[in-house]
Structure 1
Amino acid sequence: MAANTNKACCSIPPVQSDYTPKGKTEKLGGLDAYSIGPDDAKKAIVVVYDIFGYWPTTKQGSDVLAEALKDTKLVMPDFFRGKPFPQEYYPPDTKEKQEALQKFFGEAGDFGARKPELEAVANELKSKGASKVGLLGYCWGGKLSVLAGAKGTVFSSVAQVHPAMVDPKDAENLTVPVANFPSKDEPQDAVDQFEKVVQSKPFASQSVYKLYKENHHGWAAARADLKDQKNLEAFQDVYQRLADFFTNTLA
């Protein structure tokens, strides 16, 4: 059973948001998926949410990215099938809540079970005309994105934003460019070692990295507080960097 050791991931609740998403829902790879962008796009990006699932600010990030990449389709599959981790369990400050969180990571959040589903979504996008597919994940989804970028990957590039469970060994297995945008709450030693490995790879020049040392874990997804000016600025900055990264690696 997988266990998440990221303390920030296990302590910061999602932020309430009144944003109204602009996309639609469609079926991909047998899953419901939030979708935005042209259906006939030759480029696509699969977005993997954090454990809180379909949060307004997480969808807002996809909408922002779709606006910047007008010729790209973005899809966010519902891997948790309508049952994300309950926000009322945050913070997990009791033994019961902590056990529920670890159970979630071992079942709904099991990487081995979700990776084939992720690949099925990408392959369906390709069957519908996408010649290149990128991958973006937050927190739990960031870890899944990096794992999916190993040998035999169906993705042209991968990105992780405030990733959970950062492991330099995952970087060693990468075979495609990676965008890495950790927060101040990720373990710095692991982040540094991860980036050191990336810089030794043949795709190092296409990879990008920025440490958001003033921003908390989750600032670009469910824990984004866009009424806070510093959070808003970082939110805008990271999506611009993601847009640039995918423009270059999906060309």
Structure 2
Amino acid sequence: MSATNTTIPTLDGEATVPAYVARPDADSSRAIIVIPEIFGVNAGIVQKCDDWAAQGYLAIAPDLFWRFAPGVDLNPDVEAELNEALRLLGQYDVDDGVKDIEAAIRWLHGQGAAKVGCVGYCLGGKLAYMAAARTDIDVSVGYYGVMIDQMLHESHAIAKPLMLHIPTADHFVSPEAQAKMHEGLDPHPKVTLYDYEGLDHGFAATDGDRRDDVAAELADSRTRAFLAENLA
């Protein structure tokens, strides 16, 4: 495996998006976009990219906040840094985020990837849902995505497989919001939802205070199988 920091062209070609890229030892026709949380391309996201590359995927993590705060690298277990991440989130336009994901899809195809999937966390989980509805990505997975209940009107456009991991005690996603997600998405033939009872936001973080080892390993095993099946 090899890794580097690079830039990829935006969709309009007028700027570049900073990104971390991890490449497998052998050329691969399968690629994964790791969509970060609000904490930027930090050590946890870098590790997730490296893990995917070790499994044979070309993996990329774009810098979501590059337009106004490039290079963000925050620790969710430090209160001041968590507050800074929430402040940055208030400035972020998710429509721009989908454009950046689409730019990453285009770049990955140019690198030889025949099929591209994405795995997103928190804000990235929402963007994974939006990518499933708005782009031609081959498969999407979202962990503890926020505000998806407010975007269910887009679900009719989901044509490729989508998996969502939902912790039932997520303090950013109310029980009412979770119920709406199930009501709106359970009948959808392309969408699979998994609940994780009693767990909170961030349970599948690479490490740190939020991680729950048992649930993270279960969710990640489901994700690996889902992506392997749909990127074959």
Q: Deviations over 1:163-213 (max 9, x none)?
A: 11131334344222111101221323322332343333342xxx4322122
Greater Cα offset, 112-121 or 30-39: 30-39
Unaligned runs of 5+ in 1: 1-21
Q: Deviations over 1:34-69 (max 9, x none)?
A: 2223373211111110111122223323333333x3
Percent identity over paired residues? 26
Give the equivalent residue in structure 2 for 1:89.
Answer: 80
Change over 3 Å in CA distance of 1:139–1:217 after alignment to 2: same
- TM-score between both structures, scaled by the size of structure 2: 0.79
Q: How many residues align?
A: 214
Give the equivalent residue in structure 1 for 2:43.
Answer: 56
Q: Distance in 2 between matches of 1:249 and 1:190?
A: 28
Give the equivalent residue in structure 2 for 1:134.
Answer: 117
Give how far 1:232 is off.
Answer: 1.8
Q: Distance in 1 between matches of 2:50 and 2:183?
A: 32
Give the equivalent residue in structure 2 for 1:25.
Answer: 5
Give the equivalent residue in structure 1 for 2:218.
Answer: 237
**Which residue among 116, 119, 131 is the counterpart of 2:102?**
119
Change over 3 Å in CA distance of 1:245–1:64 after alignment to 2: same
- List aligned pairs for 1:89-238, cutoff 5 A: 89=80, 92=83, 101=86, 104-107=88-91, 109-151=92-134, 153-167=135-149, 168-183=152-167, 184-185=169-170, 186-203=173-190, 207-221=191-205, 224-225=207-208, 231-238=212-219
Q: Which amino acid aligns with 1:166?
A: I
- Assess if the C-alpha contact under 8 Å between 1:160 and 1:179 holds in 2: yes
Change over 3 Å in CA distance of 1:225–1:83 after alignment to 2: closer
**Which residue among 26, 36, 43 is the counterpart of 2:30?**
43
Q: Distance in 1 between matches of 2:139 and 2:176?
A: 24
Greater strand proportion:
2
Give the equivalent residue in structure 2 for 1:3.
Answer: none
Q: Distance in 1 between matches of 2:58 and 2:200?
A: 28
Change over 3 Å in CA distance of 1:235–1:60 after alignment to 2: farther
- TM-score between both structures, scaled by the size of structure 1: 0.73
**Which residue among 55, 61, 65 is the counterpart of 2:52?**
65
- Assess if the C-alpha contact under 8 Å between 2:8 and 2:104 holds in 1: yes
Unaligned runs of 5+ in 2: 10-15
- Superposed CA RMSD in Å reads 2.8
Give the equivalent residue in structure 2 for 1:248.
Answer: 229
- Assess if the C-alpha contact under 8 Å between 2:36 and 2:61 holds in 1: yes
Relative contact order higher in (CA < 8 Å, ≥ 6 apart): 1
Q: Which amino acid aligns with 1:41?
A: S
Q: Which amino acid aligns with 2:194?
A: K
- Assess if the C-alpha contact under 8 Å between 1:66 and 1:73 holds in 2: yes
